[in-house]
Amino acid sequence: MGKAGAFLPHLAERLCLYEKLKAAYDEQCADRARKAGGPIRISLPDGRQVEGESLRTTPYHVASQIGQGLAEGAVAARVNGTLYDLDRPLESSSTLEFLGFDSPEGQAVFWHSSAHILGVAAERFYGALLCHGPSTESGFFYDMYLAGRTVLGSELPALEEACKSVVREEHPFERLEVSREDLLELFKYNKFKLQVIKEKVKSPTATVYRCGGLIDLCRGPHIRHTGKIRALKILKSSSAFWKGDPALECLQRVYGISFPSPERLEEWEQLQEEAASRDHRRIGKEQELFFFHELSPGSCFFLPRGAHIYNTLIDFIKSEYRKRGFSEVVTPNIYNAKLWELSGHWQHYSDHMFCFPVENETFALKPMNCPAHCLMFAHRPRSWRELPLRLADFGVLHRNESSGTLTGLTRVRRFQQDDAHIFCTLGQLEGEISGCLDFLQAVYSVFGFSFRFYLSTRPAGFLGDAHVWEQAEQQLEKSLNDFGQPWELSPGDGAFYGPKIDVQLKDALGRYHQCATIQLDFQMPVRFDLTYISKDGSMSERPVMIHRAVLGSVERMLAVLAENYSRKWPLWLSPCQVMVIPVGPDAEVYAYEVRETFHQAGFMADVDADWSATLNRKIRKAQLAQYNFQLVVGRKELSGRTVNVRTRDARQHGERGLQEALLRLRELRDARLRNAEELF
């Protein structure tokens, strides 16, 4: 393909039209600045205020006045709470905050700009029709249409070099507001962009950004120029579908990563090597925990060791349920589609459900438990005395994820959740939210995770009364403040049926994972007409519903834990808890007796009776397999009914009585300690 794409006639025509529109827009802005410009005050996060001029002063000007280091390190700005280009003039007195690469928003802007650089290169290299190029949590990608051909792995180095060429050229990112009519003219050659414009651009104007020869429909903001990307790497390519629909056009998706310095890229590459060694799919194979099969895609086969971890996690949550007043229930797996129509899920979610006909009716496997719990609440009259009612359900869920998105245990079609729903009064809401926060802290502290909170508030398409939403958001905010952990606001990110608290846990590699959630729901009780008799018996009241999960998907949590512990599971969760090692044939029968003693006590215990291996080799083999404890037995231990205790980190605890060792390991296991080997 080469760089012929840069000279395609429609690209030259697009650029010519853009330059004409930009010249007119710049003239309008200059005229407006002359007529309406005036002094403004700009408030900084530290309380300082600086003077500026409306329609002329930019965030970059302010940053340069404060210090060149700030100006060079800033990626974007937040003006009156809205993300802003550094070179976009301020219109009035404003609050101003600068965002660097290390902030989540700054990183998203940086990687979104990098996707545009990839777009420039893809048009040059392939003459591609660009479709969708967002930032992600771990970099960026661009979906492109290549009319039947694919992006070959052998082409990625040349594509990366084309991106680096765009970086070296230091093209500025230019923002331009254009009319809907001009948008349609700018993108008349690209059926994908035209579809986006027709479906999503409802306002009279929208913004486009120019980067080199690329003009792209985009809200922004972006970095100042392409030279800010000091390190960029193209990672891989894959197939995708327009709008994620296999019935529509097949696209090519190219992934990349970028950083503000080569050193940051080098650190990232080292982290990727470590992450690859910790990949849960690799660990699952090595430790014989689970596997997948093409005859049931996205549904995991848990082997005995994996099932031990899976069931131990569930038992842990069940033990917390008993302490915290939750009642476990069992609900059906298959429901008439009428249930999902009543709950509102059918309209939003039916494409992701496994549906099938039964006696001329449509049925579906459940993808979530909440409608079933509403049926449980509604099956008989309820009294205020029963509230809060906390229903917990480990029922099997199925979601029809597309095959291309299935990723080990983190994206599956069949899974279980520690799913629970709380029905309570508005007055009980604060206490219940506090209880949910305490629940997740109790669980995550056992795992050794730190975590962060996000309060997601009313979205644009919310359902219900705005005043009730505000009350609920205030109560969630109060609960978070009372809890004492830092939290961040995510405006407009709530579910359509209620605000929520999202919880991201941090693993050993510093990566964040979304697992737990606490969501308020005002709509489901209305849809199912849920009521309870008030305290004075005079009227029926509507309960508030809380959706909450701590582990989230048990499959996903198992994957996160596997990668966090990197084969070295804590004793209470470990699939390899005890290895009994006989010193000679005389102790073999006793070794199996010891193994059976621990097995009957609920331990995952094995015997290494390989007589071709030396004792030291057996011990080393057990340590490399990450058995938490090795119990060595010989003639002396047989005669005294003792065991010689060693650990996977080569600690030697010496000879102990069999029952003494069993009692101590049971204590350490049941206490769910992460350092049982040290504490023995």
Residues with catalytic function: 370, 399, 417, 419, 421, 500, 547
The answer to whether residues 178 and 206 touch, using CB atoms and an 8 Å cutoff, is: yes
- Hey, how many other C-beta atoms are within 10 angstroms of the C-beta on 639? 9
Sign (positive/negative) of CA torsion 254, 255, 257, 262?
negative
Distance CA 317, CA 436 (A): 13
Distance CA 105, CA 85 (A): 12
250 forms beta bridges with: 241
In Å, what is the CA distance from 661 to each residue of 308, 583, 609, 629, 680? 22, 18, 21, 11, 9
Distance CA 548, CA 567 (A): 29
- Kindly compute the dihedral angle of the four CA atoms of residues 123, 110, 556, 376, in this order, to the nearest 10 degrees: -100
DSSP state of 403: G
Burial of 569 (0-12, 13-18, 19+ CB in 10 A): buried
The answer to whether residues 5 and 128 touch, using CB atoms and an 8 Å cutoff, is: yes
The three-point CA angle 604-605-606 to 5° equals 130
Asked whether the bond before 388 is cis by omega within 30 degrees of 0, the reply is yes
The answer to whether residues 259 and 268 touch, using CB atoms and an 8 Å cutoff, is: yes
Q: Where are the alpha helices (DSSP H) in 512-553?
A: 523-527
Amino acid at 425: T
- The closest alpha carbon to 86, from 257, 235, 228, 193, belongs to 228
Distance CA 1, CA 23 (A): 33
The three-point CA angle 382-385-388 to 5° equals 85
How is residue 2 written in tokens? 């080469």
Distance CA 234, CA 254 (A): 7
What's the maximum distance between 2 C-alpha atoms anywhere in the chain? 101
Distance CA 439, CA 272 (A): 32
How is residue 353 written in tokens? 């459900």
Give the side-chain half-sphere CA count within 13 A for 430.
Answer: 10
Strands 94-100 and 82-84: unpaired
Strands 250-259 and 139-145: antiparallel
Distance CA 559, CA 276 (A): 13
Distance CA 454, CA 231 (A): 31
Per the listing, tokens 């998105």 go with 405
